[in-house]
Structure 1
Amino acid sequence: MNAQSADTTTAPVTTAGSAWAPLRHRVFRALWLAQTGSNLGGWMQTVAAQWFLIQAGSGSAIVAWVQAASLLPVLFLSLFAGVLADRFDRRGWLLAMNILSAALALVLTVLSWTGVLGAPSLLLMTFLLGSSAALSAPAWQAIQPDLVPREEIPAAAALGGITVNAARAVGPAIAGILVAWTGPTFVFALNAVSFLGVVIALMRWPRPEQPARGWVEPFGDSLVAGLRYLGSGPVVRRLLLRSLLFAIPASALWSLLPSAAGGLLGLGATGYGLLLGGLGVGSILGAVLMPFLTRRLSASAVLGLSAAVFAAGTVSVAWWPLPVVVPALLITGIAWTATLTTLNAAMQLSAAPWVRARAISAYLLVLLGGQGLGAFLWGAVSAMAGVAVTLAVAAGLLLLVAASVLVLPLSPQTGRLDRSIRPYCAPEPSLVFDPEPDDGPVAVTVTYRVAPEREPAFLAAMRPLRDSRRRTGATGWTLERAGEEPGTFLEGFRVRSWGEYTASRTARWTGSDAAVMARVLETADVVSEAHAFAVRLPRR
């Protein structure tokens, strides 16, 4: 995760514009408003569920596990969801998942209304709702470049955070009042209705033009290709590491805040909603302030400063009085948005289009799965050591996370790589037969002629080419020196099928990959490129 050998070709760097610029686009605006309403219903349900358990006498561990139940499905489903979002129509997939979520929320409402809802069934329904959200999340993130120009992606990511954080600011306060007046059932019903707005917005979105699909990669191969892409992408790997380092300790505040509100601060449901509202308002302010921050600080500096501020907010809940806690949580919300917006926008801009949903699914797996795992662990720790001590320990870890940017910063090329699709530099292979897309594996051998004085530069250029080959489909890669001819090198790599090899030259070959190949060709001449197919011997 900490290798820095990515290619250094960058796309044009755009300056930070208005935080609200993406709202000028009609489709983005409609989906953004609908998602804000859905997130409002989701946060209201979270508060209602947690307060339902507190009123039922559940311990802090069970209450913290509400968040774990909603986030842990990401660990099991996120990568599969990314494959599905890259393979199928993302609009149709999002429609199906939101209809499913509405049905699940309706079931939860009925269980609560009939009086049969208990802690086990509540956690189960929360897990199922979290599963439908995990299946749709990569598709939501992956459609953003289809809705706004590239230079507005950071602002769109910040606005995406506002859909969550505006709901966090308003939802808990509304839910606290409604739970106190009507009980949790009505809040559960409102959440079921909130999904309908998203369904309507998606149905009114004209179906994006879909590229012609010839060869369709098998599901398992798609998953492996996504993992291989992550393994050969130093920029993406570092983003995943920074996400994990922040997610686990930061989850302590979110998961233990209801227990801290009731036990340490002596607040009721309305007071808990006020605390969450402070975090939410701060998160909205963070989205507004992001253009200002990104013009003055590097992405790594934003991550380090935000982790330190979040540590202060976490410890404030454990040891400081309420008049100090509320403004501290406001600033903590700014830090939360700054971290997530930085990571989210960087991932969207750094991943190649053909694998974007799978890369985002890995990011969500690490971020949300880390939060879910952290919520489970912090809940267990709080049951043994108490809520205050647990929050103090998490704050200490966050300070270490802040200091770690000095040794584990983001790559300077984060978000700047040219991910536009480019034609491969060599002509189409001339074969003596027409292979089927599933034929393979295919062994490719490229022969280079290198002048002696250019050999060091050639070898240096081949390392990023190795990563490009692996990202676009190669399962193995070698570089060999010919024993019979001086200055001759043989690059060899294998691809699982002819269809995947064709895709590696067309739909997967990006501008940054093309620039890597151009640097190789500045130091060497290509003599030939040969393609060999595996032969299956007949049985006796």
Structure 2
Amino acid sequence: MSPDVARFPRTSPYWPVVSHPLLRHVLPGLAVSALGDGMAVVAVTWLAIQLAPQDQRGLWIALAVAAYALPSAAGTVIFGRWLRGRGGAQLAGWDAILRATALAAIPIAHLAGMLTIGLYVVLLAASALLHSWGSAGRFTLIAELLPERHHLPANAVLTTISGFATIVGPPLAGILIGWAGPVWVIAIDAATFAVLALTYRLALPATGTIQRYERTASRTAGFAVIRRQPALLGLLVLSLWFFFFFGPVYVAMPIHITDDRHASATLLGVYYTAFGVGGLVGGVVAGHLRRWPLRATTIGIVIGFGVAMLPLGLGAPVGLSLPGFALAGLIWAPYMSVSMALFQRTASTEQLPAVLAANGAVLVLAVPLGTMVGGPLVGAIGARPTLLLCAVAIVTLGLVAAGVRVARRNAQGSGATEVSARH
């Protein structure tokens, strides 16, 4: 046995994360909760189909899906005054408690015979109000507990857990829906969030390690910090347009499969599975990028993702476009881990919860807005041209970001040379 093999897994960048005396107790709860959310992706829409009037199903499905995510943007501002100064575990724990409570009310209302489509959407919206703060809390907790060199591997662990859940959760939900119905899958999702809330409460006791911060009255302090930090503002703008340009893919892909390729939903599922498997591999790879220049890496990911999407937009055969879509998933996966590491390095730990919540509030709107644009865009130019336009737009975005970065570095270099010449 070689020395490297003998030392594994202690030589892995993930070892300090999974062996951390506090984080190792939190990760199982996060995995359980992620699996519940993976199942909810199917259950939320399926229950909406059952509850909505036959002639309004499309509208109510869209409202249910939006309600499960978009209210987090409003929650960032509404609760900013009270939550900005909280520690990571507290924020994540409160989000888990709200999710568990609001989602549990859905099967309870069902048992009481009171569950209507309107009440269902309201409860989904209530469950999502603290989601941006909960996500911010998880990444803030990493910054609180680990030194900077371990932030990227820890972020990658979180995104890999989520990626695995998106592969396993939907088919598991399909089985459970056929057996018990979608309302009970949502009940399971609520139970997983209850487990997560207990994990935060029991695995992370109040100690000097988890810092407490002075709170301010500002509801929008996170946005103000991002606005004052050019590096953070540039990253947010890059992420916003990256996610927005990907949004129309959710509309164009199924229509491309059915109308252009004359295939069934099975092929669409194969594409999404390939993307998910690629994403899982990319999530594992992300932890090994900690020595790469992070800003350049985010720009490279954007360009690489757009290039990997080109075969699909160009109408390449499945034998080429399917591996390309899997490669796109692999390239996409490290983006959140790397961008979160940039936030963790640039913002102070005191500012980080509000900054990450503000970032999440903006990004949670990007893909839905892009998806909304995708409908009329596909109607105007067709599905495959829409996919091609998305790919070209993403590549162009990355190239523009690279050009801005080079120009800024040259300007800084010129400024430093002039200062030296004067002295």
In the alignment, structure 1 residue 69 sits paired with structure 2 residue 67: yes
Give runs of aligned pairs for residues 50-449 of structure 1, distance below 5 A: 50-52=45-47, 63=61, 66-79=64-77, 84-110=82-108, 120-204=118-202, 205-209=204-208, 218-220=216-218, 223=219, 225-254=221-250, 265-267=263-265, 275-293=271-289, 295=291, 299-310=295-306, 312-313=308-309, 316=312, 319=315, 326-379=322-375, 381-382=377-378, 388=384, 390-409=386-405
Give runs of aligned pairs for residues 447-458 of structure 1, distance below 5 A: none
User: 1:162 deviation in Å?
Assistant: 1.2
Higher mean Cα deviation, 377-386 or 16-25? 377-386
User: 1:321 deviation in Å?
Assistant: 6.3
Tell me the residue number matched to 2:7: none
User: 1:155 deviation in Å?
Assistant: 0.6
User: 1:388 deviation in Å?
Assistant: 4.8
Tell me the residue number matched to 1:43: 38
CA contact (8 A) 2:239 2:363 kept: yes
C-alpha distance in structure 2 between counterparts of 1:179 and 1:325, whole Å? 32
> In structure 2, which of residues 5, 11, 17 is the aligned counterpart of residue 22 of structure 1?
17
Structure 1 counterpart of 2:401, which letter? V
Tell me the residue number matched to 1:32: 27
C-alpha distance in structure 2 between counterparts of 1:314 and 1:187, whole Å? 37
Structure 2 counterpart of 1:155, which letter? P
C-alpha distance in structure 2 between counterparts of 1:62 and 1:387, whole Å? 24
Higher strand share: 1
Q: Report the 3-state secondary structure (helix = DSSP H, G, I; strand = E; otherwise coil) of the residue aligned with 1:409.
A: helix
Segments of 5+ residues of structure 2 without an aligned counterpart are 1-10, 410-417
Q: 1:89 to 1:171 in 2, by over 3 A?
A: same
Segments of 5+ residues of structure 1 without an aligned counterpart are 1-15, 414-455, 461-522, 524-540
Question: How many matched pairs?
Answer: 397
Structure 1 counterpart of 2:107, which letter? T
Structure 2 counterpart of 1:200, which letter? L
CA contact (8 A) 1:170 1:277 kept: no
C-alpha distance in structure 1 between counterparts of 2:177 and 2:317, whole Å? 25
CA contact (8 A) 1:162 1:287 kept: yes
C-alpha distance in structure 2 between counterparts of 1:65 and 1:380, whole Å? 18
C-alpha distance in structure 2 between counterparts of 1:382 and 1:307, whole Å? 23
User: 1:379 deviation in Å?
Assistant: 4.5
User: 1:411 deviation in Å?
Assistant: 10
CA contact (8 A) 1:243 1:366 kept: no
Higher helix share: 2
User: 1:351 deviation in Å?
Assistant: 0.5
User: 1:82 deviation in Å?
Assistant: 5.5
Q: 1:290 to 1:342 in 2, by over 3 A?
A: same
CA contact (8 A) 2:247 2:367 kept: yes
Deviations 1:194-218 (A, max 9, x none): 11221221121111326677xx554
Q: Report the 3-state secondary structure (helix = DSSP H, G, I; strand = E; otherwise coil) of the residue aligned with 1:354.
A: coil
Structure 2 counterpart of 1:206, which letter? P
Structure 1 counterpart of 2:191, which letter? V
C-alpha distance in structure 2 between counterparts of 1:61 and 1:311, whole Å? 34
Larger Cα-atom Rg? 1
CA contact (8 A) 1:314 1:392 kept: yes
C-alpha distance in structure 2 between counterparts of 1:190 and 1:328, whole Å? 35
CA contact (8 A) 2:72 2:130 kept: no
Q: What's the % identity of the aligned pairs? A: 20
C-alpha distance in structure 2 between counterparts of 1:316 and 1:374, whole Å? 18
C-alpha distance in structure 2 between counterparts of 1:139 and 1:57, whole Å? 41
Higher mean Cα deviation, 166-175 or 79-88? 79-88
Structure 2 counterpart of 1:153, which letter? H
Structure 2 counterpart of 1:161, which letter? T
C-alpha distance in structure 2 between counterparts of 1:138 and 1:126, whole Å? 20
Deviations 1:79-125 (A, max 9, x none): 45555443235434433331221121122334566787666555444
User: 1:286 deviation in Å?
Assistant: 0.6
CA RMSD of aligned residues (A): 3.9
Q: 1:89 to 1:295 in 2, by over 3 A?
A: closer
User: 1:352 deviation in Å?
Assistant: 1.1
C-alpha distance in structure 1 between counterparts of 2:12 and 2:346, whole Å? 19
TM-score for the superposition, normalised by structure 1: 0.63
Q: 1:291 to 1:195 in 2, by over 3 A?
A: closer
Q: Report the 3-state secondary structure (helix = DSSP H, G, I; strand = E; otherwise coil) of the residue aligned with 2:265.
A: coil
User: 1:161 deviation in Å?
Assistant: 0.9
Structure 1 counterpart of 2:150, which letter? E
Q: 1:299 to 1:256 in 2, by over 3 A?
A: same
Higher mean Cα deviation, 105-114 or 196-205? 105-114
C-alpha distance in structure 2 between counterparts of 1:59 and 1:253, whole Å? 22
Structure 2 counterpart of 1:236, which letter? L
Structure 2 counterpart of 1:150, which letter? E
Q: 1:64 to 1:306 in 2, by over 3 A?
A: farther
CA contact (8 A) 1:265 1:322 kept: no
C-alpha distance in structure 2 between counterparts of 1:53 and 1:320, whole Å? 36
CA contact (8 A) 1:72 1:368 kept: yes
User: 1:231 deviation in Å?
Assistant: 2.6
